[in-house]
Structure formats: structure tokens, C-alpha cells
Structure 1
Amino acid sequence: MSENAAPLLSVENLKVHFAIRAGIFQRRIGEVKAVDGVSFSIGSGETLGLVGESGCGKSTTGLALMGLVRSTDGRIVMHGAEHVTQMGNVPRSHRRRMQIIFQDPFSSLNPRQKVRDIIRAPLDIHGVGSIEERRAEVAKLISLVGLRPDQADNFPHQFSGGQRQRIGIARALALKPDIIVCDEPVSALDVSVQAQILNLLADLQKELGLSYLFISHDLGVVEHVSHRVAVMYLGKIVETGPKKAIFSKPLHPYSGLLLRSAPSHDPHHRHKFSAVSDDIPSATRKPSGCAFHTRCPLATDICRQTEPKLERKADGQSVACHHR
């Protein structure tokens, strides 16, 4: 995204906290801070990769953007002030401009509906066009994602995993959105099929000018598809920046840990692991100060006492670390 260009999507201080309840009267005894003050932006035609360990809040962030989980606080703005959502209240117009591709192509499709009905559902719900126009649009979408016209009357169980994900992509495209949340869209697929789906998403981005929030734990995939990357740890973004900068010179110790943990295709290249604890803190009892200090080899007293802010550094990177 250009420095001076207005972002397509801006997320400001997004929080999603889940109450922990116990006892007969279900009294609140604590909370899980799944997303705890996340801010980022996505430009038109841009892909932002959101990475981190399982349980860090990546998918919850995507679901909150869609209004599929209720946000506790924060602001989501599309096209300046045109579409604003706050406290989980997502207007209908916002839903049309942002769609989602789910991780599991098996459970995200209704097994009792034919493909044409699954893809047409968003058009029916939002009352887009006449019956004939909807039928023509469904046929166009089926062809656009690489399926045959005669497969429109088939049920999901008659397709492979990759074909089911193509159906999910077609459904996401039905309302002509500006941005699509891709929630680990290839993690459940075979490697060869992953490449096909990634190529399809890239082609659609070029053809339709789409923007993506690409959520994944696979750093190789994120490096391939993203323009910028945001690294998430225990509900917070600890580093953001251009893809090349993040992958060549990560600033946050956690970003470096993630990159060193990724498997290498070069048998002569061995990662050198530093002494980092595998004891991941609980999201219900986050450490004081920097949440990563319990695992960080650079941690000092200030890390244990004061939470670092995300600050802009060289090469367009921003990092939340007292020692960077």
C-alpha cells in the first residue's frame, strides 16, 4: 500500500474478550483476551498476511471483522467513514463488501444443498437482481473458479477438497466484495491442490482488484501470497512490515522464532535455535509487561514491567519491543 494512499480497510484497537463462567449461576470468574487491541490497515488490491501460533487470535480477528463473533471494543472502517462497525454491530452494507473463505471446505458447505443453491444464497439473502440474473451470475461464478457448468446440480459430497474450496470461493465472490478474509483457506488441502487454489486466488485478485486478509500459520504460503505481513502473539500484533523486510530481517524476537521454526527445503541449511522457552502463557493469565518476555532471550526488567508499544522503524517495519 502506498504511503499516501487511503486504506481500503482500517482496523483500530479491535478487542474480542470471552467471559469465563462457572458454577450453577454461571458467575463470571475471568476472561479470555483472544484479541486484545489489534490495529492494521489493508490497501486496495493488497494482501496482508496475518501469522502466528495456534491460539494467538488470528482466526478470531477475521471472524470479528465479519461480525461472526462479537467484538468487545474497537472500530472497523471501510472506505474512510463510509462503513463503520463498532462493538460487534456489523451493518448489512459492510457484509456485502467483505466476505470470507473458511478453513474447512468440508464443513463450510451445506451438504443438503446443490452447488448452484450454495453459490446463489448470498444473492438471495441480499435480494440482488432478478431470478434470471441470479441464475446467470451463478453460472458465471462457477466458470470463474474453474468448475464445469454441468457440476452446478451436484452436491458437495461429490467433489474433492480442492473443488469444494472453489465452491466456497465462488460463494464469497457472489456479492462482488472489495475484500475477502481468507481464514487458512489451503491448510486442509494436499500440497498440489494448495498451489492450484493459491494460483486461483492470485488470478482473481488481478482480474477483480480484490484485497485479502490472508490468515495462516504456514509461513511459506504467506511469503508467497502477501504484500505485507503482521505477526500476532497472544492477541496482539507484535510486528508489521513489507514481506521482504519481515522475512529477511525480522525485528521482534518472536518473529525470528517463527521464521527459524519453519522447515527448510535446503538440507545444507540448518536453523540455529536460540534458548527460547516452549512454555506458552495462557490467554486467561497473560504476563505483565511484554507478553513474550517469559520466552524471550532478550528480556530485561523493563520487559516484565512495561508493555511495549508498536513503533515505526526502518524499512517500513513496526515492532513492539523495548530492545529494537
Structure 2
Amino acid sequence: MAPPPAPLLSVRGLKVHFPIRQGVFQRQVGAVRAVDGVSFDIGRAETLGLVGESGCGKSTTGLALTGLVPLTDGEVTFDGARVGSETGRDLARFRQRMQIVFQDPFSSLNPRQRVRDILRAPLEIHRIGTTAERREAVFAMMNRVGLRPDQAENYPHQFSGGQRQRIGIARALMLNPDVIICDEPVSALDVSVQAQILNLLEDLQDELGVAFLFISHDLGVVEHISNRVAVMYLGKIVEMARREALFAAPAHPYSELLLGSTPSLDPRRRHRFSAGFEDVPSATAKPSGCAFRTRCPLADERCRAEEPALSPRADGRLLACHHR
């Protein structure tokens, strides 16, 4: 039997802590542990959904992977090579292969640049192609994402929100990346436009074989587009499973809370589990043991004293809970 293929992107023990400083001499008095030991893999042409409440560390994880915020600790391996020690051409090549689509299509585009300049910039920075080849590449990419080439002379304010997000996706694709970090790419759009953008991403994945880390708080969107889903709480992944398994029967109490908070007409999707939304702990002072214990009715002394490890279960999912 052949071994399973190696993951395209492998993350182990990723941590991002932001120091808290006070006083005249700006001494560090604490830290915001935004991401506190996250591990996951993404295969080629796979979509991993990353979900959780606002402030759980989802977006910071994506920014850390692309180098937009520094890592505090952890190891990132991309296509067999460790990320973080590259310099010069190796670093440029890595940045070509991993791109990001930002949440807000209104602020992520330079309002003083025409679309042609926004899309041409990645090629110029990496010195790819001649002037004529870059122009043709811009027109071809606009066609690919559903924009007309004659709109290349327009400025971002002349486009709708959905069209601006198409421009953001086109910019991320200009360098033919292997992985795209999608940081809530449809949350600022109308529902009908959301469907168009999601369908576009799926078509591009089928056509180009690109992998996605899809970060969102919208569980309906994640269920539609993801192959696997990781649930994040206070900087840690508490459950990871195939999409079908997670949405059919969430195992972690927090996962069940998230799904139970989403309205559904399907009686099979109505969960009786309940937990408080109040008293959410701070990332600067997390509870001892299991971070979710202050909101979980299953919590006991073991949960207070011992942090559960993310470990495999019989059904193939990864789970961090003492009672499930």
C-alpha cells in the first residue's frame, strides 16, 4: 500500500504572542496569546476551513503563515522545506507560492491605482515577463475571474464590492500560487454576491489545483466550500474533522455550541447542547487547564487542572476534550 502523499503545507506548534507594555520604559507586563500552539496540514488542491468566534486567532494564523506578522514559536513546512530560514531568491519563491485574499475588498486595494497597475505589480516585483507579456497576463486574469479587460483602466471605486473582491482574487492568482489564504473573503459582501465568489473560488481550484486555507466565522460558507474543518478557540484548535463528520455530529462542546447557534430548518441539525456566550475569557489571561471550561457544563476538576491535548479519535477526527 502506497504511503499517503506528503502535505503541501504543514504547521506545527504555531504561536503568535503580542507583548503588552506599560510605563515610561515600556516594560513588558504580559502578552496577548493570539495563537497559542496551532498544528494542521493542508494537502494539494484541498480546502481547510478555519472557524471560531471573533478574536479566537483565525486571521492572525493566516497573517503569520504569509509573514505579515512575526512568529513567536512553531514550525511551518511548505512543500517539504522549512519556512523561516529563506533569504533572497528562496524567500521570493516562497512568497510567490503563497498568497492572501483579504477580508475587506474596499481597503485592500490602492484607491490611487488603476486595476491594470494593481494586477501588474506582483509580476513587476518578481520580475516576471516582459511589458507586453505582463499586459496580456493582466487581461487573461481579468477574464478568468469574470471581469472585462476594458475595465483594466478603471479605479477600485468604480467597481462594486463583489467586483473588488474579484480583483483581490485576481491579484493573488497573478503569481500562480499553490496556496491562498482566504481571510473571510466574502463576509463584507451581499449573500448573492457571496455565492458568486465562492463558486469562482471552487472553479479556480478545479482549474488550477490551488489549495485554500479558508478563514471564516460563517459556518454555512465553510460547510459549502471546505474539505476539512478546524475549530479554533482562544488560540488553539479544539477539533478537526472532515466537513461531513463535523457538521453531522460535532464532538467538542465548543463545536456543538457554534453549530447550535446557527439557525437551521433541518431537524437533524438542531442541537440541544447549550453553553453561555457570556464571560468569554481574555487571550491575556486564559483559564487554567481547558480554556473552554468556564463556559462548558461538562467541566470538572480534571478540566481545571489538565489541558486536553488534540488527539486522534476512532472516527478519524482530532479532538481536545476530556469527556468526548
Q: TM-score w.r.t. structure 1 length?
A: 0.95
- The number of equivalent residue pairs is 321
Following TM superposition, by how much is the alpha carbon of 1:177 offset from its aligned partner in structure 2, in angstroms?
Answer: 0.1
Following TM superposition, by how much is the alpha carbon of 1:170 offset from its aligned partner in structure 2, in angstroms?
Answer: 0.4
Which residues in structure 2 correspond to 1:1-324 (within 5 Å)? 4-81=4-81, 83-85=82-84, 91-265=91-265, 271-276=271-276, 278-324=278-324
Alpha-carbon displacement from aligned partner over 1:31-50 (angstroms, at most 9, x marks no partner): 00000000000000100000
Worse overlay, 40-49 or 271-280: 271-280
CA distance in 2, matches of 1:275, 1:60: 26
CA distance in 2, matches of 1:208, 1:305: 48
Following TM superposition, by how much is the alpha carbon of 1:84 offset from its aligned partner in structure 2, in angstroms?
Answer: 2.1
Q: Unpaired runs of 5+ in structure 2?
A: none
Q: Which amino acid aligns with 1:219?
A: L
Which aligned runs of 4 or more in structure 1 are off by greater than 3 angstroms?
Answer: 265-273
Alpha-carbon displacement from aligned partner over 1:212-258 (angstroms, at most 9, x marks no partner): 00000000000000000000000000000100111111111000000
CA contact (8 A) 2:115 2:152 kept: yes
Q: Which amino acid aligns with 2:227?
A: H
Alpha-carbon displacement from aligned partner over 1:97-117 (angstroms, at most 9, x marks no partner): 000000000000000000000
CA distance in 1, matches of 2:153, 2:183: 27
Q: Which amino acid aligns with 1:255?
A: S
Identity %: 69
Q: Secondary structure at the match of 1:67?
A: coil
Q: Assess, with a 3 A threshold, how the Cα gap between structure 1 residues 156 and 196 changes in structure 2: closer, same or farther.
A: same
CA distance in 1, matches of 2:145, 2:136: 15
Following TM superposition, by how much is the alpha carbon of 1:267 offset from its aligned partner in structure 2, in angstroms?
Answer: 9.4
Alpha-carbon displacement from aligned partner over 1:164-215 (angstroms, at most 9, x marks no partner): 0000000000000001000000000000000000000000000000100000
Q: Unpaired runs of 5+ in structure 1?
A: none
Following TM superposition, by how much is the alpha carbon of 1:11 offset from its aligned partner in structure 2, in angstroms?
Answer: 0.5
CA distance in 2, matches of 1:268, 1:253: 17
CA contact (8 A) 1:76 1:86 kept: no
Following TM superposition, by how much is the alpha carbon of 1:274 offset from its aligned partner in structure 2, in angstroms?
Answer: 2.0
Q: Assess, with a 3 A threshold, how the Cα gap between structure 1 residues 3 and 312 changes in structure 2: closer, same or farther.
A: farther
CA contact (8 A) 1:277 1:294 kept: no
Q: Assess, with a 3 A threshold, how the Cα gap between structure 1 residues 170 and 154 changes in structure 2: closer, same or farther.
A: same
Following TM superposition, by how much is the alpha carbon of 1:3 offset from its aligned partner in structure 2, in angstroms?
Answer: 7.4
Worse overlay, 126-135 or 267-276: 267-276
CA distance in 2, matches of 1:113, 1:127: 19
CA distance in 2, matches of 1:130, 1:86: 31
CA contact (8 A) 2:112 2:155 kept: yes
Q: Which amino acid aligns with 1:31?
A: A
